[in-house]
Structure 1
Amino acid sequence: MEDSDQTQTPTRVTDPLTNAFGSLNDLAPELSSLQDLATRGSWRSILDKVSRARSFSLLTLPHHHLTYLSYNALALMKLRRFDDAAQELDSLEDFNSSSYQYESYPHAYPNRSGSMVPFSLRWLHAVLLLKMSNRQEGLDRLYLLLDFIREKLRQKIDEKLDLSASMWRKREVIVVNCLIGYHLSGKEFGVCLNLIRELLKDSADFDPVLVSKLGYIQMQIGDLEGATTSFNRVEEMLKSKKSDDGDGDGDGDVELRNLVNRNKVLVYLIGKDYVSAVREYEECIERNDSDVVAVNNKALCLMYLRDLSDGIKVLENALERVPTVALNETVVVNLCSMYELAYVNHSDIKRTLSNWIARVAPDDFDSSCTRI
């Protein structure tokens, strides 16, 4: 079975640069269409669209080529065509090359300077080797990217460009989260603690997600007291927010409340108190029925309580209710495992599920997770 928790890192990084150009289509031809296809997981259509744009010479400016290459490389990676993605990225020069500076093309970009390389390209270049199981060189690239981000962040802070600094701060968090995920998989807990504490030390604002992640890492090394302290800090923030704002039900309030619930569950699970864990997850789902972490883990807790029937219903209902959110490999693997435990004719049931997935899943969904 596969657990899901709030420490998971994002897998999609987009960089539309709409702050520099009025709209997506101002940035590059038909870019809004590419973005829509990416949102829907139509990666094969993206490859077709990029191919046509290149064939018909629709990409007339240097940054057009970089933008389309970003989407093409992302689509290839999503489809697990890593060698093709590597070939695409290897076609680029060094990111610091003058070829990728706006000022090298004064007639095309009057009064503009700096790099035209999308951040998404830097990100894809860093994580590709990790996808290809080249762990050490992939981690080296991620750390180089982190150094690059932090230098940019320092520049924006010195220049008092708060909005731009906030953007680079978010990118720093994304990369550190990714690094923590890979170091956690290698049980390198000391490295994880150093990364998260450095991030928290440099943060001007209290970030409940980061503090919760610190608590999760502390639990991994058996520091229950430290984890409890971290989780209590998050809960105190919620109480303070309630006091300041009243019992609001905005998106931010819901997210913070659910984070507190999920933190409590981690402590309950140490004592195998699955009943209390289910109760906390039910509160999360009641506030937000798209909280797939709570849905998935509630089903697992029910299974541990030997209530396979209700566990299956929880996952099936989520897939029916919010397929675009709940349809991921972790949920499907767990549902199929429960089918195997609960039903003699599980192959037929899984085949029905697989046929439904084939109709609604994005292109990058790994259908082998049904184990038919």
Structure 2
Amino acid sequence: MEPDSTEPQTETAAISANATTDPLTSQFGSLNDVTHELDTLQDLATRGSWLTILEKVTQALSLSVLSKPHDRLTYISFKILALSKLCRFAEASQELDSLHDFGSSQYQYQSYPEIYPSRTGSMVPFTLRWLYALIPIKLGNRQEGLDRLYTLLDFVREKIKEKESKNLDVSVNVWERREVFVMHCLTGFHLGQKEFGVCLNLIKELISRDLSDPVMISKLGYIQMQIGDLEGAKSSFGRVEKMLSEGNGNGLLSEVEFRNLVNRNKALVYLVGKDYVSAVREYDECIERDYADVIAINNKALCLMYLRDLSDSIKVLENALERVPTMALNETLVINLCSMYELAYVNHVDIKKTLSNWIARVAPDDFDSSCTRL
């Protein structure tokens, strides 16, 4: 969670040493007993330990052990993120509301010259701004969320101009990546509502900035398929394949990832034409290169199901789970496997219970167990 500071970020979320004499925490051996540094919180986030993060951060905030304003704000960001991951969106929204205006002077480094003598700018983490836009959508207020996302996009673009005017190339790169991230979010939300025209405009704008992004061009092809422009999709997919043959992928993907992307694009064309056998062949090539290609595995299983080979379809997904247990964390794959169980077995409830119990041992806190439909 990076701050918006105009200066390079050198501070960590470590608590200042002089806070150890605080009577509120004197009962503990050290501050590490009640809170964690950012590296630890980020490690917990990577492992999906959101309940642990929530417990530790809530404890630190309640004991007032965070001595610097930006420490407190960063920890609140982790709390809101954890609540969001746990689908406790109403609580996350209340936490956000308690922060009030992000543009307030209380969130500016220069408001605390005695603590940050050489820093200026906002200390609000970008993640917090993004959550501010995301959570209304999760609460069913889609338009409010979209408005906030577009406002965030404008904010990011203003930051890019500001950094460019100061020749801060490293900062420009950071904010440009954030711009792409927000545009990806917008594309995903509009795609979910089948607003394909808006999606096309966003994707084409992104491609115009980077003509050598094979993932983006592939996504364009996917959207073209959604609106029935099969020839346009084939053209986009062909463009990606040509990039592979010419070695023109801008280093965004490894060779295996690039080749699998091309195979998956071909498979989509076959799927539209209901040539499931050819689609399976393309997915097999992907899996042979990378046995953890969850998209290829999931789609191969669906193709086999369409070919009325339900037994082999189930085996594909079960074998994938045996090879790579973390595959169980892909909710789409689990949903499809459970649907196949329902079609194939009379005692599907017992089978799904066994699967659900196994998943519970490996899944992170934010895994949606309802996907097993028990």
| TM beyond 0.5 | yes
**Contact 1:103 / 1:109 at 8 angstroms: preserved in 2?**
yes
Find the counterpart in structure 2 of residue 130 from structure 1. Answer: 137
- Unmatched runs of 5 consecutive residues or more in structure 1: 1-13
| 20, 28, 32: which one aligns with 2:9 | 20
Q: Distance in 2 between matches of 1:284 and 1:322?
A: 16
Give the direction of change, closer, same or farther, for the CA distance of 1:186–1:263 in structure 2 (3 Å limit).
Answer: same
Q: Give, in angstroms, the shift of residue 24 of structure 1.
A: 6.5
Find the counterpart in structure 2 of residue 183 from structure 1. Answer: 190
Find the counterpart in structure 2 of residue 54 from structure 1. Answer: 61
Q: Give, in angstroms, the shift of residue 322 of structure 1.
A: 2.1
Q: Distance in 1 between matches of 2:273 and 2:147?
A: 38
The alignment's C-alpha RMSD in Å is: 2.4
Q: Distance in 2 between matches of 1:265 and 1:150?
A: 37
| 142, 163, 166: which one aligns with 2:170 | 163
Letter in 1 for 2:261: L
Deviation string 1:53-105 (CA, Å, 9 cap, x unpaired) is: 11332211111111111110011111111110001000112111111111111
Structure 1, 279-288 or 129-138: larger mean CA deviation: 279-288
Residue 274 (1) aligns with residue 276 (2): yes
Deviation string 1:156-185 (CA, Å, 9 cap, x unpaired) is: 334443332222222122211111111112
Q: Distance in 2 between matches of 1:204 and 1:241?
A: 16
Q: Give, in angstroms, the shift of residue 273 of structure 1.
A: 1.0
Give the direction of change, closer, same or farther, for the CA distance of 1:19–1:335 in structure 2 (3 Å limit).
Answer: farther
| Residue-pair matches, total | 354
Find the counterpart in structure 2 of residue 43 from structure 1. Answer: 50
| 230, 233, 236: which one aligns with 1:227 | 233
Give the direction of change, closer, same or farther, for the CA distance of 1:205–1:166 in structure 2 (3 Å limit).
Answer: farther
Structure 1, 317-326 or 131-140: larger mean CA deviation: 317-326
SS of equivalent to 2:123: coil
Give the direction of change, closer, same or farther, for the CA distance of 1:243–1:134 in structure 2 (3 Å limit).
Answer: closer
Return the TM-score normalized by structure 2. 0.88
SS of equivalent to 2:338: helix
Q: Give, in angstroms, the shift of residue 204 of structure 1.
A: 4.4
Give the direction of change, closer, same or farther, for the CA distance of 1:243–1:266 in structure 2 (3 Å limit).
Answer: closer
Find the counterpart in structure 2 of residue 237 from structure 1. Answer: 243
Give the direction of change, closer, same or farther, for the CA distance of 1:239–1:32 in structure 2 (3 Å limit).
Answer: same
Find the counterpart in structure 1 of residue 180 from structure 2. Answer: 173
Q: Distance in 2 between matches of 1:121 and 1:162?
A: 24
**Contact 2:213 / 2:249 at 8 angstroms: preserved in 1?**
no
Letter in 1 for 2:226: Q
Q: Distance in 2 between matches of 1:182 and 1:163?
A: 29
Q: Distance in 1 between matches of 2:190 and 2:109?
A: 37
Give the direction of change, closer, same or farther, for the CA distance of 1:163–1:79 in structure 2 (3 Å limit).
Answer: same
| 197, 212, 219: which one aligns with 2:218 | 212
Letter in 2 for 1:90: D
SS of equivalent to 2:121: coil
- Computing the radius of gyration over CA atoms, which structure comes out larger, 1 or 2? 2
Q: Give, in angstroms, the shift of residue 228 of structure 1.
A: 1.4
Q: Give, in angstroms, the shift of residue 242 of structure 1.
A: 7.8
Letter in 2 for 1:285: I
| 255, 260, 263: which one aligns with 2:262 | 260
Find the counterpart in structure 2 of residue 11 from structure 1. Answer: none
